[in-house]
Amino acid sequence: MSKRILIADDEENIRTLYKIELEESGYIVDLASNGKEAVEKAKEKLPDLIILDIKMPVMDGIEALHMIRQLPNGKDVPIILFTAYGEYQQDFTTWASDAYIIKSHDMTELKTKIEELLNK
Amino acid sequence: MNLEIITKFLKEFHKDYSLSNKIQALSNLFSSINIEIAYLIINKKPFEIHRIKDSNSKLQLNSAEINISNHEIQLPTGENSITIYNNPIKDEYNTYGWLLIGPSKIDSELEKIIQAELTCFLKHTINQTFLKKAHQLETICLLSERVSSFYDLKHLLDIVTEYVTKALNAKGAVIRLVNKNKQLLEVMSEYGLENVNIRRYGIKLGDGVSGEVWKSKMPKLVIPDTKESEQLLSSKLRIKSLICVPLIFENDVTGTLSVYEKLSERPFDEEDKIFLEVIAGLVSPLIAYTEALEREQSLRKQISKNLENLHIITEINKIIMQPRKIDELIFLILTALTFGKDIGFNRAGLFMYNAQTGTFQGMIGVGCNDETEIQIWEKLPDMTTKEWLEIIDKNKIKNESTFNNTIKQLRFDISDFPLIIQILRSGSVYVSKKDEKDIIKEKLNIEEYAIVPLLGKEDLLGMLYVDNKFTKKPIDENYISLLQTFASQAALAIENSKLYSEITNTNELLKTAKQELIVKEKLATVGEMLTILAHEIRNPLTAIGGFANIISKKSENLTIKELAEKIYIHASKMDDMFKEFLLLAKHSTLQYSINDLNEIVVECIKNFDYVDSKNISFIFNSNESLKVDIDKNMIKVVLNNLLKNAIQAMPKGGKITIETKKEDSYAVLTIEDEGHGIPSDVLPNIFDPFYTTKFNGFGIGLSISYKIIKQHNGIIYAENKNGGAKFTVKLPLSIKEEVKDEQKNSYS
C-alpha cells in the first residue's frame, strides 16, 4: 500500500514540483500552504511522513513540528525539515525532526532520505 | 800743611768711586793729623751716618739726635765735653752732607780740599741716585707702555724680569706665579739666573723666601751681613742679598717677583724694594687679566671645538636619526665611531644592558682586525664620517669585522665593575686607568679603552666601547667630549628606533586587524544580502530546475528534452553558486573529528573522475599519514574548490600535482597546476570575496576556502610556480592523536 506524505510549503511551485516528483516515485502526496494547514491535515489523518518548510506565513515549520509532535501518535511520525538556506543546520536535532534538507531541484537526496525513514 | 799727607790722601781718595774707599781714605788721613772723632752724614732721606773714626765711645751718633734745619746741622749739646766741629759739604745750590770732626779743627786749607773732594763725590753719588731713579722711572714708563699693548703673558713677564734686573743693576730676576690647581708657586719667567741655583720646581705656601712672601703678602728684603743673608749664602743659592715682592691682585697673591744679588757695591735698599713694589703693582692686574683672557681663549677654543663636534654629530645624526631597524642603526652608529677622519677609533662595540638580569650583553662590534687593515683604512679616500655613513647606508654594507664575534661572545655582570657602573649611571665617559687592571682590559686584551653610557629616558640602555688597539692613539679630552655628545645622540636614536619598531609593529597589527575587519564586514554584508537572496531566488530556482528536469524526463520531443536538460544544468550551476554563497555567509560551528588528510584527498580526487576526458591527470605524493582534527565536509569543500580551480586553469588538460607532508606542527598540502598562473594584480587579493569575483575563473570558492581554513586555525596561500599556480594549505596536526601515539609507544 502506498505511503502517504504531507508536504507543507508556501511556494506553490515547490509544492507542485515535489508533488509530481514524489507521486512519480509512488507516494500519495497531500499538500499544505502553511504550518497551520499542515497541523490541521495531520490532525484529520496522520500521514506516514511529513515534510515541512521552515519559513512559512501564518505558522512556520518549527511551530508546526512542535504541534504535530503533541498529536496522538505524533511522536512517531517521521518529519523532514527543509529550507532554502542552510543556516539552521546545527540546530535541527533539537527541534526533534528526523532530518534536515536543503531545498534543491535535485530530488535524489530527498528521495533517499524518505525511503530511509519509511523503511525503518 | 804737609803736602805729602795731602798727596797720599788724594791718591787714596781717588782710588775708586766707592763710598767705602772714600771713608777709608778719610780715616787714614784723620789718623795722621790727630783727629779722634769723624762722622760723615750724607744728606739723604733717611740720613746715612758713616763712622769714619771714633776713639771716644762717649759720642754715639744716631739719626734721632741729629737735627737739621735750614741745611744746618745742630748737634746735641750738654754733657758732651768733646768739641765737635761741623763742616757742611755744599756748593752754592745744595747741601750734600756734613763732616763732623773733633776734638780739634783741621787746617783750613786741608778742610777746603776735603770739602771740595767730598762735595764733588757726594754730588756725583746723589746725581747717580737721581739717574738711577730716572732709570727706574723710565723702566716703569716702558713697562707701562708694554703692559698696555701686550698680548703674550710670558713675553711680558720676560720683559719685566729683564728690565728690573737692569734697572736695579742686579744679577737676575724671576717671576713665579701661583698655580691655583696645584697651590704651588711655579717659575714663569727668569732673567740672568742661568748660573744661580734658584728653586725652579713648585714652591709651597710658606716655603722659602718666596713662599713666605706669598703667605705674608709682604715684600721681603735681604741685605748682606745679616743672619738671613748668611742663610742664603750657605744655601744652594749662594747669594747674599735679594728682594722679593708679592704680586697682588684684589687681595690675592698671584705670584712673586724676586731680584737677586746687587752687582754694584751698594746693596739693595728700601727704595729698590719700593721700586719693585711699583712694578709688581703694575704687573699684577695684568697677570690676573691675562689669566682670565687665557681662560676665555681656552674656553672659546673649547666652544669652537664643541661646535665642530656638534657639526659632526649633527651630520651623523641626520643619518642615524632616520627611522630604521635597530640593528641597522647600531651598525651605523658604531661605524660612525670607527670610520672617517672625524672620530676614527680603531674598534667600537655595543653592549646592551638588561636591567632584569643586571648584565651587559655584547651585541655588535665593528672595526679593523689588525695593523694591516689600519694601513688600508688610512689610504682610503679622505671623507667625512657623514659621507662614509651615506655610502654604507646606501650600499647596505655588511659588518665583516672579527671583532663582531669577539663582542658578541662577551657578557658582563654589573658586579664585574661596580665602580664603572656608577660612573656610567652619572652619564660620564669612563676612560680606563693606566695602571689599573680591570675585567674589560683582561677580556679584550687591551691597554686603553673608553666606555660611554647610553642613557635612555629611564635607565641605562647600554654602553659603547671604543679603543685604539692598533694605532695606540691616546683617548684624550677631545675624544671624550665628542664621545659624550655622540653617546647621548646615539641613545636617543636607539630609543627612537625602539619606538619606531614598536610603532611599525603596531601599525602592522592595525593594518592586519583593519583588513580582517573589512573582510568580516564584507562577509557580514554578503551574509545579509544572501539570506534575502536565497529566500527570494532559491525557491523559484528550485522550481525551475525541478520542472526542467521533469520536462526532460517526460518529453518525447528530443529538442525539448535537450533544451529542458540545458535549463536543468544551468539552474544546477546557479544553485551550486548559491550553496557556496550560503556556506560563506553561514556562521556555523564546525563539527570536528580526527581524520587522515590523505584519505580526504583521495576521496576528493575520486569525485573528479569524470574529468579524465579532459586530459587531466592527478599525481598524489604522500609519505605518511597526517592526522588532523577537522570538519571533514568543510575541508572537502576547500579541496574541491582548489581542484576545481586547477582544472579550470588548464582547459586543454595537464597535470595536477598534490603533495602532503609534515612540517613542524602542521600538515601541509600543496596543489600545483600547469596553467598560466594567477595574474600578479589578483594574487594579493585572491582570497577577498569581492575582489576575486572580478577575476574570471575563481569563483567565490577561494573566499570560502580561506574562511574554512582560518576557522581551522590553518594557513592558506597562493603563489605562482613554474608558470602555474600553487596553493598551499597548512592545518594543525592533531594533538590528541599524537598523545594517543605517545601513549601507545609508552605502553609497548
Q: Please state the ipTM of this predicted complex.
A: 0.75
Contact at CB, B586 and A107, closer than 8 angstroms: no
pLDDT in tens, B134-176: 677 777 777 666 666 656 778 878 888 888 888 888 889 999 9
User: Same domain for B79 and B16?
Assistant: yes
Beta carbons of A83 and A102 less than 8 angstroms apart: yes
pLDDT in tens, B28-50: 888 888 787 788 888 765 566 67
Residue B424 sits in a domain whose CATH number is 3.30.450.40
Cα→Cα distances B539→A9, A20, A104, B188, B543, Å: 10, 16, 8, 115, 6
Which of B472-475's residues contact partners 24+ apart within 8 Å by CB, and which partners? B472/B447, B472/B448, B474/B448, B475/B431, B475/B448, B475/B449, B475/B450
Range of the domain at B91: 3-121
Beta carbons of A77 and A48 less than 8 angstroms apart: yes
| Mean of all residue pLDDT scores within chain B | 78
User: Same domain for B674 and B627?
Assistant: yes
Residue B59 lies in a domain: yes
Identify the weakest region by mean pLDDT among A79-93, B223-237, B632-646, B665-679.
A79-93
Confidence of residue B746 (pLDDT cuts 50, 70, 90): very low
| Mean of all residue pLDDT scores within chain A | 83
Question: What three-state secondary structure class fits B235?
Answer: coil
User: Same domain for B411 and B490?
Assistant: yes
Domain map (residue ranges) of chain A: 4-118
Mean pLDDT along residues B222-247: 84
d(CA B717, CA B462): 42
Residue B582 lies in a domain: no
DSSP string computed for B655-720: EEEEEEEEETTEEEEEEE--S----TTTGGGTT-HHHHTTSTT--THHHHHHHHHHHTT-EEEEEE
Residue B465 lies in a domain: yes
User: Same domain for B492 and B364?
Assistant: yes
Select from B157, B173, B165, B158 the least CA-distant residue to B135.
B165
Beta carbons of B184 and B178 less than 8 angstroms apart: yes
Is the Cβ of A94 closer than 8 Å to some Cβ of chain B?
Answer: no
DSSP string computed for A34-81: SHHHHHHHHHHS--SEEEEESS-SSS-HHHHHHHHHHSTTTTTS-EEE
| Residues 6+ away with beta carbon under 8 Å from B356 | none
pLDDT of B342 above 70: no
Phi and psi at residue B98, to the nearest 5° = -140, 145
d(CA B551, CA B560): 8
Residue B689 lies in a domain: yes
d(CA B241, CA B224): 6
pLDDT the model gives residue B740: 44
Residue B447 lies in a domain: yes
pLDDT the model gives residue B743: 42
User: Same domain for B259 and B315?
Assistant: no
Identify the weakest region by mean pLDDT among B281-295, B670-684, B718-732.
B281-295
To which residue does cell 580526504 refer?
B600
Is the Cβ of B395 closer than 8 Å to some Cβ of chain A?
Answer: no
Is the Cβ of B551 closer than 8 Å to some Cβ of chain A?
Answer: no
User: Same domain for B96 and B225?
Assistant: no
Total of domains in chain B:
4
| Residues 6+ away with beta carbon under 8 Å from B544 | A105, B567, B571
Contact at CB, B535 and A85, closer than 8 angstroms: yes
| List of chain B residues whose C-beta atoms are within 8 Å of the C-beta of residue A105 | 541-546, 548-549, 568, 571-572, 575
pLDDT the model gives residue B658: 93
- Total CB pairs under 8 A between chain A and B: 75
pLDDT of B583 above 60: yes
User: Same domain for B177 and B251?
Assistant: yes
pLDDT of B659 above 90: yes
Cα→Cα distances B629→B596, B635, B652, B659, B737, Å: 9, 11, 37, 19, 9
**By CA distance, what is B549's nearest residue in A?**
A105
Cα atoms in the Cβ-side hemisphere of radius 13 Å centred on B461: 22
Residue B533 lies in a domain: no
pLDDT of B531 above 70: no
Residue B277 lies in a domain: yes
pLDDT the model gives residue B71: 59
> How close is the nearest chain A Cα to the Cα of B726, in Å?
31
Residue with more model confidence, B113 or A4:
A4
pLDDT the model gives residue B385: 66
Domain boundary among B452, B477, B504: B504
Residue B303 lies in a domain: no
User: Same domain for B279 and B336?
Assistant: no
Set of cell numbers at residue B660: 602532503
| First and final C-alpha spacing in chain A | 16
Q: How far is CA B93 from the centre of its chain?
A: 78
DSSP state of B618: E
Contact at CB, B531 and A84, closer than 8 angstroms: no
Is the Cβ of B530 closer than 8 Å to some Cβ of chain A?
Answer: yes
User: Same domain for B456 and B358?
Assistant: yes
**CATH homologous superfamily of A4-118:** Response regulator (3.40.50.2300)
User: Same domain for B318 and B465?
Assistant: yes
Identify the weakest region by mean pLDDT among B53-62, B105-114, B433-442, B549-558.
B53-62
Mean pLDDT along residues B170-193: 88
pLDDT of B741 above 50: no
User: Same domain for B113 and B159?
Assistant: no
Domain boundary among B471, B504, B537: B504
pLDDT of A69 above 50: yes
pLDDT of A93 above 60: no
Whether the link from the prior residue into B453 is cis, omega within 30° of 0, is no
Percent of chain B with pLDDT over 90: 5
User: Same domain for B427 and B488?
Assistant: yes
DSSP state of B538: I
